[in-house]
Amino acid sequence: MARKVSTRRKLVMSAIAWTLGILIFFPILWTVLTSFKSEGDAIASPPVFLFFHWTTENYAEVQSRSDYVLHFWNSVVMSLGSTLLGLVIAIPAAWAMAFSPTRRTKDVLMWMLSTKMMPPVGALIPIYLIFRDVGLLDTRIGLVVVLTLINLPIIVWMLYTYFKEIPGEILEAARMDGASLAKEIVYVLTPMAIPGIASTLLLNIILAWNEAFWTLNLTTSKAAPLTTFIASYSSPEGLFYAKLSAASTMAIAPILILGWFSQKQLVRGLTFGAVK
Amino acid sequence: MATTHTRSAARLMMAPSVILLFAWMIVPLGMTIYFSFLRYNLLMPGMEEFTGFLNYSFFLSDPAFFDALTNTLLLVGGVLAITIIGGIAFALLLDQPIFGQGIVRILVIAPFFVMPTVSALVWKNMFMNPVNGLLAWIARSLGFQPVDFLASVPLLSVIIIVAWQWLPFATLIMLTALQSLDEEQKEAAEMDGAGFVSRFIYIVLPHMARAITVVILIETIFLLSVFAEILVTTNGGPGTQSTNLTYLVYAQALLQFDIGGASAGGIVAVILANIVAIFLVRLIGKNLEA
């Protein structure tokens, strides 16, 4: 039963919530607006909010100056590549743990989780030296490997919590009806597992896209994804706010959109199923 | 019921993940421990020699270590305080019947999806810059002297930036927990004449206890390793004013090439993180049984 709420109270609450929401969102909004300004308008005092000369020249400029598309593509390859590779490795493991658990399954899961808790500086130095010696520094493949490994525990965990919810009886029922193992997998299990796999995919693309420890330390130019590329704006030359904004807007837009679709999975994936 | 056959199949299916993660955990960690006992500088190749605990005593007695430890704790504590309190407040607000609830929710969680280097640079240049930043303009319009955030209060500035990124996470988790609260329980309390405050303290807060613990633990794990935000805003400075442990180890290894000393620092960081991790693993493990 829904509680009755006075319209006045609802209006007041809405006003507060909207004000705070816009305040929190403002830096993003401001970045997007600034990306369409000329460099002069970008630092105008008093600041101009909407009534300025809108231009898309910053976007063209960012591309022509620094091959933005390359870095964007690096981010795509890296986040998608590491997620898909992680799924291939993790699906069988999560499957086995969810459907034929043993006494030690829980310990294995907890141990996997604990690997995620090792601070990256504990591994940075050897990985950096190994990568230097075998020529993997500043390569996409090296980065994909590292990102796969750091996100593997989260992938296994998320898949496990989803697979666990698939009722085991349904398998038995299918088997009783004479379904072969192949049929069982194609017609019964896959359709039930796909939503969980899709959510895991989504969350991990987001995590890999925004990863900013290993990307910053292991890439410099050729294989630099957007995190590293944007970091190069920390030492500015001349007027650059509008160009920084344009580069940033393109870097966050795809993930922002994906992220809005994955709010629920986010909670589940990042709390390892402790909060649903 | 698992047969021997399916059991060995299960083992085979788990093997790649387990082996890879085991290697990922043990090889770098073992090498870091090994390096931490060596005098090993990339600028002096071929001069490596065993030095026992010398790197540790140098690292731990370095005043920069004490600064970095303090900054790490302040950073973690500051961000936790802001995001927990802010997160609960936002969650309570978003749980009310309001117009366009879905849209407000989207606005509030958006910062979580912004990559760290972008949010740090946007805040640094467009908000905290003492000349062209929006905050400076607001200060001047109100007749105050603009603050040079990153020079005069570097650690606080980093805390603000990181808290902005993590507030959405806390809000989202708190909101999820809040929405699972039994509506009838709240109504019953209301009918019994419990006001907002006592309902919050006796019903809402206990219900959210687990969500709060989870937020604290998970944020702590990530916040102990804040790196990009410091690298692109202050470079740990001025001096060591905004250097945390992660940044100190990075600087020692990749800027000063002191592999031995940095490795000792890395191990210290691992030990600190493990103390937190033990609590987290226990909590989640308990939950797994329920």
Residue by residue, pLDDT tens for chain A (276 residues) are 455 668 888 899 999 999 999 999 999 999 999 999 988 888 887 888 888 889 888 898 888 888 899 999 999 999 999 999 999 999 999 988 888 888 888 888 888 888 888 889 889 999 999 999 999 999 999 999 999 999 999 899 889 988 888 887 777 777 777 777 777 777 777 788 888 898 889 889 998 999 999 999 999 888 999 999 999 888 766 568 899 999 999 999 999 988 888 777 777 777 776 676
The residue of B7, B8, B17 whose CB has the most chain A CBs within 10 angstroms, and thus the best one to mutate to test that interface, is B17
Question: What is the architecture, at CATH level 2, of domain A61-270?
Answer: Orthogonal Bundle (1.10)
Query: Phi-psi region for residue A58, left (φ > 0), alpha (ψ -120 to 50) or beta?
Result: alpha
How close A185 comes to chain B (CA, Å)?
15
Contacts of A138 (CB under 8 A, 6+ apart): A218, A219, A220, A221, A222, A223, A224
Give CATH for domain B55-289: 1.10.3720.10
Where are the domains positioned within chain A?
A: 7-57, 61-270
Give the chain A residue whose CA is nearest to the CA of B166: A24
A128 contacts in chain B (CB < 8 Å): 253-254
Handedness of CA A92, A97, A103, A109 (dihedral sign): positive
Q: Do A115 and B21 touch (CB under 8 A)?
A: yes
> DSSP letters along B233-261, please?
HTTT-STTTT--HHHHHHIIIIIT-BHHH
- Angle between the B4-36 and A105-116 helix axes, to the nearest 10 degrees? 30
Taking the C-alpha atoms of residue A58 and residue A249, their distance in angstroms, rounded to an integer, is 11
Write down the residue that tokens 């966050």 correspond to. A252
Write down the residue that tokens 């879905």 correspond to. B102
Where are the domains positioned within chain B?
A: 55-289
B101 contacts in chain A (CB < 8 Å): 17
Q: Do B125 and A236 touch (CB under 8 A)?
A: yes
Amino acid making up residue A265? Q
Which of A244, A266, A263 has its CA nearest to residue A32? A244
Q: Which two tokens stand for residue B81?
A: 């305080």
Contacts of A174 (CB under 8 A, 6+ apart): A183, A184, A187, A188
On whether any CB of chain A is under 8 Å from the CB of B107, the answer is: yes
- The pTM assigned to this predicted structure is 0.90
A13 contacts in chain B (CB < 8 Å): 93, 96-98
pLDDT at B153: 93
A256 contacts in chain B (CB < 8 Å): 110, 113-114
Kindly give the pairing relationship between strand B49-50 and strand B38-39: antiparallel
A189 contacts in chain B (CB < 8 Å): none
On whether any CB of chain A is under 8 Å from the CB of B250, the answer is: yes
